[in-house]
């Protein structure tokens, strides 16, 4: 969708704001630029709509270089949301939102309907807010109008330059949620500049971390947290965020003692054994504690009238199992996908080490999450 090829920006005093950066922004992606002050993130974003021109390199949108395009025409096809909101105080809310569609000479009936639809999408009922003026709205409401104004002409690309940074924490949190919900519905290509790592981690499909005019790491929020590229990224993310990644303990910590039965037991003995232990099933092992299978009360009852059968004849050998080398996350996935009550846990030689139950697995998970 948007391609930066060897972009450099050098000012007349010799300062290099960007140093030969190359990267792609995918169609429908919410791409966040972040880094310390002066890293080049805002310069990078403003090059997309030619508010700043590059010194070297090329920027392409859908394969077409923007260098020779008319800046005004280009900007009318790219939505732009800024921190200061920039609503015209003498215009009503609907007039502010309809401004770009009107300049593009879109049918008034079409854009009037679009304005109402967008106001509804961000929780501003048209019958209440459409004819109000910006000064009659709160800061958060004004910024919602700023966001939907950028969407009104249905651009494929929207640039957002720290749009929520001046708002109080509650308004900011809500607008982040609004943006995520809008993106889920509209699937625009959004380039979002922020200095707030929590905001980036919350909203981004991918994060581009910059330093001194260069790109340090581009990755998903998950991978940025799990695999920061270097010490700069680690420090920029912050130890408190990195420590919130759950490192699950080994599966041995979730083990419980199993109810075990031998394969040569008759069915009458087996049903008596299960009743005595108030159990629905038992793990079958040989005399050396090697795992063989699972026998349940249902299996016994189903074939009880067949004379001469033993546990070995009716036990299930296809029960999912895990080994002590498997991680806890893998065990949790298996136990919940297979809808079973417990998992036999085996060593490398197939000897039974214990069982992991839904309860024991979730208790470990709960303890880990409470610690973060």
pLDDT value of residue 321? 93
Mean pLDDT of the chain: 89
Mean pLDDT of 129-137: 93
Nearest Cα to Cα of residue 81 among 193, 172, 234: 193
| Whether 274 contacts 281, CB under 8 Å | yes
Mean pLDDT of 108-133: 89
What tokens appear for 319 in the block? 């029960």
What tokens appear for 247 in the block? 């490192």
Q: How far apart are CA 259 and CA 278, in angstroms?
A: 10
What tokens appear for 57 in the block? 């390199």
Mean pLDDT of 31-37: 96
Q: How far apart are CA 297 and CA 292, in angstroms?
A: 17
Class of domain 2-242: alpha beta
- Which of 107-111, 262-266, 314-318 has the weakest average pLDDT? 107-111
- Which of 85-94, 166-175, 186-195, 258-267 has the weakest average pLDDT? 166-175
Mean pLDDT of 129-155: 90
Work out the pLDDT band at 253, boundaries 50, 70, 90: confident
Percent of all residues in the chain with a pLDDT value above 70, rounded to a whole number? 96
pLDDT value of residue 112? 85
In degrees rounded to 5, what are phi and psi of residue 106?
Answer: -75, 150
Quickly name the fold that domain 251-371 has.
CBS-domain (3.10.580)
State if pTM tops 0.85: no
Structure confidence by residue, pLDDT tens digits, 208-247:
999 999 999 999 998 998 889 999 999 999 877 765 555 6
Q: How far apart are CA 160 and CA 144, in angstroms?
A: 12
- Residues present in the chain in total: 372
Taken in order 263, 266, 267, 270, the sign of the CA dihedral is negative
Taken in order 195, 201, 207, 208, the sign of the CA dihedral is positive
- 2-242 and 251-371 share one CATH topology? no
Taken in order 58, 75, 218, 327, the sign of the CA dihedral is negative
**Residue-range domain boundaries for the chain:** 2-242, 251-371
């Amino acid at each position: 969708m948007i391609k930066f090829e060897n972009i450099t920006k050098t000012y007349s005093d010799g300062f290099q704001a960007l140093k030969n950066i190359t990267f792609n922004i995918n169609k429908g992606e919410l791409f966040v630029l972040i880094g310390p002050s002066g890293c080049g993130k805002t310069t990078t974003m403003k090059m997309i709509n030619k508010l700043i021109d590059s010194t070297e390199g090329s920027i392409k949108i859908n394969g077409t270089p923007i260098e020779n395009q008319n800046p005004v025409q280009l900007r009318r096809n790219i939505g732009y949301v800024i921190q200061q909101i920039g609503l015209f105080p003498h215009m009503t809310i609907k007039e502010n939102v309809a401004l770009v569609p009107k300049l593009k000479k879109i049918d008034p009936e079409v854009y009037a309907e679009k304005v109402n639809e967008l106001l509804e999408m961000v929780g501003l009922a048209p019958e209440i807010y459409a004819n109000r003026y910006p000064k009659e709205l709160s800061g958060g409401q004004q910024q919602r109008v700023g966001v939907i104004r950028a969407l009104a002409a249905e651009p494929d690309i929207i640039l957002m330059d720290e749009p929520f940074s001046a708002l109080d924490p509650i308004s900011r949190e809500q607008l982040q949620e609004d943006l995520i919900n809008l993106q889920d519905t509209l699937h625009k290509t959004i380039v979002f500049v922020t200095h707030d790592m929590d905001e980036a981690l919350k909203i981004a499909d991918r994060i581009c971390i910059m330093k001194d005019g260069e790109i340090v790491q581009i990755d998903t929020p998950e991978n940025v947290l799990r695999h920061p590229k270097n010490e700069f990224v680690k420090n920029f993310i912050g130890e408190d965020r990195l420590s919130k990644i759950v490192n699950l303990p080994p599966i041995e910590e979730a083990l419980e003692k199993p109810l075990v039965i031998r394969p040569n037991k008759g069915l009458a003995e087996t049903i008596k054994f299960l009743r005595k232990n108030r159990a629905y099933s038992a793990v079958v092992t040989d005399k050396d504690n090697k795992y063989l299978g699972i026998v349940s009360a249902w299996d016994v009852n189903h074939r009880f009238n067949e004379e001469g059968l033993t546990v070995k004849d009716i036990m299930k050998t296809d029960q999912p199992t895990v080994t002590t080398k498997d991680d806890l996350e893998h065990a949790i996935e298996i136990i919940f996908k297979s809808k079973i009550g417990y998992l036999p846990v085996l060593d490398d030689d197939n000897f039974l080490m214990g069982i992991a139950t839904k309860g024991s697995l979730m208790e470990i998970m709960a303890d880990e999450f409470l610690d973060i």
